[in-house]
Chain A
């Protein structure tokens, strides 16, 4: 037997990993951990525990060599049809100095790499998903919203960021029902792909200003809303009446403080039954345009990023 094979048994007699469930469980744990980062810290914990447990079992198997199965040895073919004489002895299992240094270098290198990379990756990903709630926004005194009329209100969700944070809502005062004021506040983000829908009526140039809010009362009531990008059409309750949108226009919650209208969190709407104060709104979590909220298509969007 030549000397080289003695020194490098693996080259002559390859090891292949034997069948094992530990890597699969480890992978499930890592996936649960990553999903949990977005969804819930409890799931992060569960994922970490699963990954650690299966990783430990996997590493233990590998270290003991139990998970390794010798590759089946196939005898080289010979012309006379008989197998070649066996020259191979069982490989000596050694765990020498160089193997220790190799594993140590890779392990420490991987650890340092992970310590540097993970915070940077997190910094890239997490700010898009955390602290996305913006507080209530003062849209001005209630007297600026005449009963039964639509007012186009634009406002900055984050005045520090400037005009880039400006959003638009169509606000209609539905009057007072049972001593409770009612408002219909429809977002201008098309439920197709987010372009700005326009009221189907003449929009006068005159507007009122209140802090960062501009208010444009519409003298003639719009017959609905329509999107310039791909022709989505909606009625005055925001229900889809034509074109590509998959649901009704989004709406905003509101509150009234000191006779001022305050805009609260946005939410998504599949459709609205009835009109005005007596409307029955089918509410859903605020979702991206193009997402179905009800019906079988909504199963394609089981989890929403935190808004």
Chain B
């Protein structure tokens, strides 16, 4: 690489350094500056909104985990401590608690958008299936997270939830006994739910979100059903762009948003 000459090149030098060694900048540009149909609708931001809600849950959850104590003697007192004593604890716990509902609601809205736009059809069926798995995992997050405050509501709601699982035919009783880690709710149930809530399910959700986004990028965004443009009618060759225009301008590799 030639030494930076102009001021513009000096500013972008670190970016070039990174790009030359990793190709990451091109990847990010490919991700951000992809072609979308010209009549993309605001409803198509619901997926990004759901992702944002999940990331907020992840970040606030990690921070709450620094103060929460998942054992029967200390769980509720630690929740009280977070809410009443710690600086902005009420806020972060509130974000996590209300954000959980936002996340679930956005998942359903996103699902409704995909359904009504027919975006689940060929070739995007696999992404619908992954989305359904994500919905199930999200609901499981809600179920396991509900127990953690360890108050009367959460204890009995979880009792009822576990026993609903237990009344499922054939393997239901085994599922219920696995969930509560024994014949009855016991000291291990809380830490078990905590581990599932903060490690097992989020890991699976992150992995599936990665797949979900990969397929979105690979397959592109659907036009709304009222679109007047026939599918595949966009420009075939991307317009010529001068080389190395940095992050601020779209490049041929990523196509053009103004296509």
CA distance A286 to B182 in the complex (A): 13
A290 touches B163 (CB 8 A): yes
Question: Given known contacts A288-B172, A302-B170, is B164 in contact with A193 (CB within 8 Å)?
Answer: yes
A162 interface residue, CB < 8 Å from B?
yes
CA distance A301 to B163 in the complex (A): 14
CA distance A132 to B164 in the complex (A): 21
Interface string of B164-177 (1 = CB under 8 A from A): 10110110111011
A87 interface residue, CB < 8 Å from B?
no
Interface string of B130-169 (1 = CB under 8 A from A): 0000000000000000000000000010011011101101
Q: Which residues of B contact A (CB under 8 A)?
A: 72-73, 156, 159-160, 162-164, 166-167, 169-170, 172-174, 176-178, 180-188, 190
B173 touches A289 (CB 8 A): no
User: Least Cβ distance of B30 to chain A in Å?
Assistant: 30
A301 touches B173 (CB 8 A): yes
25 contacts between A and B (CB under 8 A): A125-B178, A127-B182, A128-B177, A128-B178, A129-B178, A132-B183, A157-B184, A162-B187, A164-B187, A167-B184, A193-B163, A193-B164, A193-B167, A194-B163, A195-B156, A286-B183, A288-B176, A289-B167, A290-B163, A290-B164, A291-B166, A301-B169, A301-B172, A303-B170, A305-B173
B163 touches A300 (CB 8 A): no
- B187's contact among A161, A167, A195, A196, by CB below 8 Å, is which? A161
User: Least Cβ distance of A290 to chain B in Å?
Assistant: 3
Mostly helix, strand, loop or mixed at chain B's interface? Answer: helix
Q: B180 contacts which chain A residues (CB < 8 A)?
A: 128
**What is the total number of residues of chain A having a CB less than 8 Å from a CB of chain B?**
32
Q: A125 contacts which chain B residues (CB < 8 A)?
A: 178
CA distance A30 to B73 in the complex (A): 41
A305 touches B174 (CB 8 A): yes
Identity of the chain A residue whose Cβ is nearest the Cβ of B156 in the assembled complex: A195
Identity of the chain B residue whose Cβ is nearest the Cβ of A302 in the assembled complex: B170
Question: Given known contacts A128-B181, A162-B72, A193-B163, is B156 in contact with A229 (CB within 8 Å)?
Answer: yes
Question: Given known contacts A194-B159, A287-B173, A291-B166, is B178 in contact with A164 (CB within 8 Å)?
Answer: no
Q: B182 contacts which chain A residues (CB < 8 A)?
A: 127-128, 132
Question: Given known contacts A288-B173, A301-B169, is B163 in contact with A158 (CB within 8 Å)?
Answer: no
CA distance A63 to B174 in the complex (A): 39
Question: Given known contacts A288-B166, A290-B166, is B183 in contact with A307 (CB within 8 Å)?
Answer: yes
Interface string of A295-307 (1 = CB under 8 A from B): 0000011111101
User: Least Cβ distance of B197 to chain A in Å?
Assistant: 15
User: Least Cβ distance of A162 to chain B in Å?
Assistant: 6
Question: Given known contacts A125-B178, A287-B173, A289-B166, is B186 in contact with A193 (CB within 8 Å)?
Answer: no
CA distance A291 to B166 in the complex (A): 8
A165 touches B186 (CB 8 A): yes
Question: Given known contacts A132-B182, A164-B186, A194-B163, is B169 in contact with A300 (CB within 8 Å)?
Answer: yes
CA distance A243 to B163 in the complex (A): 17
User: Least Cβ distance of B196 to chain A in Å?
Assistant: 10
Question: Given known contacts A38-B174, A162-B72, is B159 in contact with A193 (CB within 8 Å)?
Answer: yes
Interface string of A216-260 (1 = CB under 8 A from B): 000000000000010000000000000000000000000000000
Q: Which of B178, B182, B188 has the most CB of A within 10 A?
A: B182
User: Least Cβ distance of B155 to chain A in Å?
Assistant: 9
A163 interface residue, CB < 8 Å from B?
yes
CA distance A144 to B62 in the complex (A): 51
Q: A286 contacts which chain B residues (CB < 8 A)?
A: 183
CA distance A244 to B198 in the complex (A): 34
User: Least Cβ distance of B203 to chain A in Å?
Assistant: 14
User: Least Cβ distance of B256 to chain A in Å?
Assistant: 37
